Amino acid sequence: MNMLKFMPLILLTTFLMGSSFAIGKMGLVYASPLLLAGLRFALAGIIMAVIVGMLRRPHPARTADWMKMLLIGALQTAGVMGCIFISLRTITASESSILTFTNPLLVVVLGTVFAGMRYRWYQWLGVLLGVAGVAITLGAQLEWKAGVIFGLCSAVFWATATLLVKKWGSGLDTWVLSAYQMLFGGILLLIASILLEQPFFHWNGESVTILLWLSLLSSIVQFAGWYYVLQKGDPARTSAFLFLAPFFGVLTGWLLLGEQLYPSLISGGLCIIAGIYLVNRQFQSKQKANPDQNAA
């Protein structure tokens, strides 16, 4: 695939990934975190479910497959996004995006420990760079607030969901899986909002705009664009560009929220970005030698 041809779409999707942290933090002025996340993905899931139904995409016939999508939704949407939105209450959008996007590094660790996967030394170098980046970021002005714990938990949930998708994804339609894991995760977040917080949502033009941006652009358009590029070319090469997402997270946090760009945040973020690049980029050559494995 000619990567330059798809670079505008790659930039758009990674921008939407990264900017959702700053947009989400803006939304917390008008809504409680779990309710905002739940509304975002319930709306996106409903729209996607209607679309895959109209397109007659193959839906699972077995209850076990629906339960798999429910578990992935509980981890990928409810776990990841719930932790992200809660983290944004006490840490910056830049810090939350950096912590969350350590998930490709955790995939290497968890995949080795629990799934028996084998990775090249270049990828382990990427993990070490990522760990160093987190240490640099946390070791300076980022205090050990609750948001830090939730930010790290979001990465753990994401990495775990990634491994489950690797294991089960081949038996499920990608678009159907995306639609229903968002819908199931959104419903779980709404239930959690009722049980775990005092939910509120102030309806006005800005809050509705933020909700629609998160649901339509940062969820549906982002997913559709990213998977279109993945399907058109080498997934391993494309996944290497995930390093752009935390970059856009820090950039939009600075532009939209006026968050300070501390030297430790920049240097730590650069280490994590380099680690993500190595983990994904170097996996390409391994995948050619072993086509039965998926990209990290």
Q: Which two tokens stand for residue 202?
A: 């102030």
* 54 vs 239, higher pLDDT: 54
Listed range (183-187, 262-266, 269-273) with the worst mean pLDDT: 262-266
* 3 vs 35, higher pLDDT: 35
Q: Which two tokens stand for residue 29?
A: 């002025």
Q: Of all residues in the chain, what percent carry a pLDDT higher than 90?
A: 48
* 135 vs 88, higher pLDDT: 88
Give yes or no for residue 291 having a pLDDT over 80. Answer: no
What integer pLDDT is reported at residue 55 of this predicted model?
Answer: 93
Any idea where the domains of the chain sit in the sequence? 3-289
Q: For the residues 206-221, what does the mean pLDDT come to?
A: 95
Listed range (126-140, 163-177, 182-196) with the worst mean pLDDT: 126-140
What integer pLDDT is reported at residue 288 of this predicted model?
Answer: 41
Q: Which two tokens stand for residue 225?
A: 């664009």
For residue 32, name the pLDDT band (cuts at 50, 70, 90). Answer: very high
What integer pLDDT is reported at residue 236 of this predicted model?
Answer: 59
Listed range (96-105, 182-191, 234-243, 246-255) with the worst mean pLDDT: 234-243
Give yes or no for residue 239 having a pLDDT over 80. Answer: no
Q: For the residues 75-87, what does the mean pLDDT come to?
A: 95
Give yes or no for residue 282 having a pLDDT over 60. Answer: no
Amino acid identity at 282: Q
What integer pLDDT is reported at residue 235 of this predicted model?
Answer: 59
Give yes or no for residue 290 having a pLDDT over 50. Answer: no
What integer pLDDT is reported at residue 53 of this predicted model?
Answer: 95
- Nearby residues of 61 by Cβ (< 8 Å), 6 or more positions away: none
Amino acid identity at 73: G
For residue 121, name the pLDDT band (cuts at 50, 70, 90). Answer: confident
What integer pLDDT is reported at residue 165 of this predicted model?
Answer: 87
What integer pLDDT is reported at residue 281 of this predicted model?
Answer: 65
Phi/psi at 201 (5° precision): -150, 115
| Count of Cβ atoms closer than 10 Å to residue 168 Cβ | 16
Q: For the residues 188-213, what does the mean pLDDT come to?
A: 96
212-231 burial, b at 16+ Cβ within 10 Å, e below that, comes to ebbbebbbbbbbebbbebbe
267 three-class SS: helix
Q: Of all residues in the chain, what percent carry a pLDDT higher than 70?
A: 88
Closest CA to 253 of 265, 264, 263: 265
What integer pLDDT is reported at residue 213 of this predicted model?
Answer: 96
User: Which helix or strand (DSSP H or E) is residue 137 part of?
Assistant: helix 121-139
Whole-model pTM?
0.84
* Contact by Cβ (8 Å): 1, 232: yes
